[in-house]
A and B are shown apart, each in its own frame.
Chain A
Amino acid sequence: MALLARLEPRGAHRVTGVRLTQASGRRLVAGVPTLWLLVLFLIPFIIVFRISFSEVRLAIPPYTPLLSWHHGAPHFEIHWSAYSFLFTDPLYVSSYLYSLKVAAVSTLCCLLIGYPMAYAIARSGSGTRQMLLMLIVLPFWTSFLLRVYAWIGLLNNNGVINNVLLYLGVIHYPLALMQTDFAVYIGIVYSYLPFMILPLYANLEKHDITLLEAAADLGARPWRAFWRITVPQSLPGIAAGCLLVFIPAVGEYVIPTLLGRADQLMIGRVLSDEFFENRDWPVASAVAILVLLVLVIPIVLFQRLERRELEAAK
């Protein structure tokens, strides 16, 4: 068909005309979203970076300018005070490390719970599979905030879990479940579990069952075949799921604020408090930059995985 169009003179003329409008049309299609993200995503980070090298002052805006004019000469000022403050105050260092620990432990728990779930869904019949996937995704469509809030009612001193355990006689006085590390883990695992299950399922569903059958024919026991064949094949799914849980969990704000300890804050809460309570924009910006520094590698890894996944779909 392409050949025919080229043979016909009028058609050929039309094709070049189309090419020209196509080039500018393409520029528009790619340009509009790129411009939007440049202005509302990339430039904001440059501003955060820039403010993190200022000092707080009592003015509007509440930070010192990077470039000022002194007697007609430009004067360039870089302050490291926000960063040195963060590194010398043990409060920040500990909440930084605590956030990484909480995110890592919750990611591991999500993987341990989510892997068998994704495996069971991928191995079920096609009708039940759709049902099960819908059941996994449905909580995700209801409010995140309300799902975290639901745990307050369950974990409170006079909450549902304590009442049931007291009624059954398992315990004689209520357990302190709220405002503990445990409550934060529960909250994060609960909220982020679908993010672990879905990429794992997408990977496990594609596996070739005949490989496992071949292993069985060659005498491998089911668990051995699972560890030697299924697990290595599912590594991209494991990586995608873990990154999707770990990265946002590091900066989590709602869950630790509603369920977590008051004596040990996570870094997302520290950032927000610095900004809203202390009105210290440079320190809040420096916290954001330091969190980003740790997350840059996982974020780039995640994007590479995504790209490979899309290319495989083609």
Chain B
Amino acid sequence: MKPQGLFARVALVLGLVFLYVPIISMIVFSFNNSRLVTVWDAARSPTLKWYTALMRNEQILRAAWLSIRIALIAASCAVVLGTLAGMALTRFGRFRGRMLLAGMVTAPIVMPEVITGLSLLLLFVAMGQLIGWPRGAGAVTITLAHITFCMAYVTVVVQSRLAGFDESLEEAAMDLGARPLAVFFRITLPLILPAIASGWLLAFTLSWDDLVITQFVAGPGSSTLPMVIFSKVRFGVTPDVNALATIMVLVVASGIAISTVWMHYRQKRRQRDLQLAAAANL
């Protein structure tokens, strides 16, 4: 093996250890039964008491429910807006305002969150004064803010998928007399559906997880789950947050595992279909 190959492999293994040690330690300590939170008490552990404590924590449950509702709405709206923007940027060639749209759409991805949060709050305040809406900060302003930064990610995902296949299929359908809407729903949409699905999931995760922008645009009484977690952990480690983290890691890991298996299965079936088609042509 070449020397840089060996070096790279060692780095890869160490890097993966670095990525997973904190997550694994959180999972392990969620079963710890000790007065010192980060010292493992072998005599009395493992325990499930932090999980039962979590299930009885009204504040966390309420915040989680609010976060789920916001993430569902924000991800769905972001997918629609992001798909429109992705279509416009990859399929319309040059048009007036293209530079403006292209410039604005990727900026929220890299923009420091404090700046986005501050600017959105100042917008909502100004709007409230000018047109009387939105009335104060809350779930509505949080959702509007989340749609804005989530749609940037959806656009990038959809855009790269659209750039990945050429327009000949769409052009063929147009030449056969299909209207643009029909072309979109019967040709383009099925082709970019995987990108839309992963864009939605990405948007849901980002919305569910966002703290900084949310803190700016949230009002009293509209605490999302990250806000509750942040106020709990700001002053140290709390074991019920470990339990919460474990649940979230398990949900995500099983979701990714299922989708990987599903994609693998689909790909295999596609290959088999292609082989059958090739055989039929012989």
Contact = CB atoms under 8 A, between A and B. Distances in A.
Contact of A41 (B88, B148, B171): B148
A44 B15 contact: no
A299 B12 contact: no
Interface in B167-185: 171-172, 174-177, 179-181
A142 B248 contact: yes
Interface stretch (A21-29, A68-76, A81-89): A21-29
A285 B122 contact: yes
A223 B160 CA distance: 34
B234 A37 contact: no
A138 B209 contact: no
B118 A275 contact: yes
A21 B29 CA distance: 61
Contacts of A104: none
Nearest to A159: B38
Interface of A: 1-2, 4-5, 11, 14, 18, 21-22, 25-26, 29-30, 32-34, 36-45, 47-48, 51, 61, 113-114, 116-117, 119-121, 123, 130, 132, 134-139, 141-147, 149-154, 156, 158-160, 163, 190, 193, 222-223, 226, 243-244, 247-248, 250-254, 257-258, 268, 271-272, 275, 281, 284-285, 288, 291-292, 295, 298-299, 302-303, 306-307, 310-311, 313-314
A247 B112 contact: yes
Contact of B107 (A22, A193, A299): A299
A230 to B, nearest CB: 8
B193 interface: no
Contacts, number: 286
A240 to B, nearest CB: 11
20 contacts: A25-B181, A26-B95, A29-B88, A30-B97, A34-B104, A37-B101, A37-B148, A48-B122, A134-B256, A145-B230, A153-B237, A154-B21, A158-B38, A158-B39, A190-B18, A247-B112, A251-B112, A268-B114, A288-B115, A303-B106
Interface residues of B, number: 104
B180 A117 contact: no
B102 A307 contact: yes
Nearest to B88: A30
B87 A29 contact: yes
B4 A248 contact: no
The 7 closest A-B pairs by CB, nearest first: A251-B112, A44-B119, A116-B11, A150-B22, A30-B88, A120-B8, A33-B85
B212 interface: yes
B112 A281 contact: no
B129 A61 contact: yes
B5 interface: yes
Given A21-B179, A306-B156, 4 more contacts: A139-B23, A268-B113, A272-B215, A299-B107
